[in-house]
């Protein structure tokens, strides 16, 4: 099996569990990292080794390949759930967005925009490319448009684009709810152009992060956005999120409607 691996030192509990599970899969398979890499198309040995250190959160495709290569493809689901929780933990932004807004409670464009952002963060803030790949409608959702929607610089242009984002964030069984929300919003209000709303107007971008710009809001109390851990945020609402048990449902959306 080669050299003994270094201890896992991460303080992120979900990332630690990922590393532990990957090492258990390796031990059960009896493979070396090079042998495992030979079974994982497009995944290099260093990438597989790094995934098992706990020093970073592995990509989804790495975890799937790791589990399948070790002969335990059924372990991928648990690993991916842990990955989402690890991402939520390391970003620390989900709790600042407040409680999830059920689609049936969305009443205007601001509600819709906030619900989309919550959905994205609850999915572990996947890369824009990952969201597009899972959207089931790549033609309706370009990377640049998705970026602007997630950053709340603009809103979806139609129902197809909205559903593409919802699907890309891993929610595929609530189309009727989001379609109803879209119908409500488009029948009662006209979206405000980003340049006309000072709360959504960007005043600064972080250099060197072209795909994940940091934006600051002009209006006190609005959100200051951050990607890559560059800045703090001011939230609309504060709440405590307890996500230690990865077997519990992920916080994609509140599943009960207001009575």
pLDDT confidence of residue 191: 61
**Pairwise pLDDT comparison (199 vs 237), residue with the higher score:** 199
pLDDT band of 120, cuts 50, 70, 90: very high
Give residue-wise pLDDT tens across range 71-106: 999 999 999 999 999 999 999 889 888 888 899 999
> What DSSP string describes 216-253?
--SSTTS----SSS-S----S---------TTSPPSSS
Give residue-wise pLDDT tens across range 14-55: 999 999 999 999 999 999 999 999 999 999 999 999 999 999
pLDDT band of 138, cuts 50, 70, 90: confident
pLDDT confidence of residue 220: 33
Q: How far apart are the first and last CA of the chain?
A: 58
Helix (H) or strand (E) holding 242: none
Give residue-wise pLDDT tens across range 176-203: 999 999 999 998 756 654 444 544 444 3
pLDDT band of 110, cuts 50, 70, 90: very high
Q: Are 36 and 50 in contact (CB under 8 A)?
A: no
């Amino acid at each position: 099996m080669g050299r003994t691996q270094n201890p896992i030192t991460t303080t992120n509990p979900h990332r630690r569990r990922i590393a532990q599970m990957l090492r258990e899969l390796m031990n059960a398979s009896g493979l070396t990292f090079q042998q495992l890499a030979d079974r994982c198309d497009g995944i290099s040995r260093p990438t597989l080794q790094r995934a098992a250190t706990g020093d970073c959160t592995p990509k989804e495709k790495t975890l799937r390949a790791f589990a399948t290569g070790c002969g335990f493809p059924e372990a991928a689901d648990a690993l991916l759930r842990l990955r989402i929780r690890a991402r939520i933990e390391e970003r620390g932004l989900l709790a600042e967005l407040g409680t999830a807004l059920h689609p049936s409670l969305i009443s205007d464009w601001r509600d819709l925009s906030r619900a989309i952002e919550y959905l994205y963060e609850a999915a572990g803030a996947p890369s824009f490319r990952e969201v597009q790949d899972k959207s089931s409608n790549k033609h309706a959702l370009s990377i640049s448009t998705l970026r602007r929607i997630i950053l709340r610089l603009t809103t979806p242009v139609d129902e197809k684009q909205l559903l593409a984002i919802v699907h890309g964030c891993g929610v595929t069984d609530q189309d009727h709810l989001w379609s109803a929300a879209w119908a409500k919003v488009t029948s009662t209000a006209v979206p405000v152009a980003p340049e006309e709303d000072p709360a959504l107007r960007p005043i600064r971008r972080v250099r060197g992060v072209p795909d994940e710009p940091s934006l600051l809001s002009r209006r006190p109390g609005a959100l200051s956005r951050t990607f890559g851990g560059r800045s703090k945020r001011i939230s609309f609402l504060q709440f405590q999120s307890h996500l230690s048990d990865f077997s519990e449902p992920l916080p994609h959306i509140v599943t009960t409607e207001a009575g």
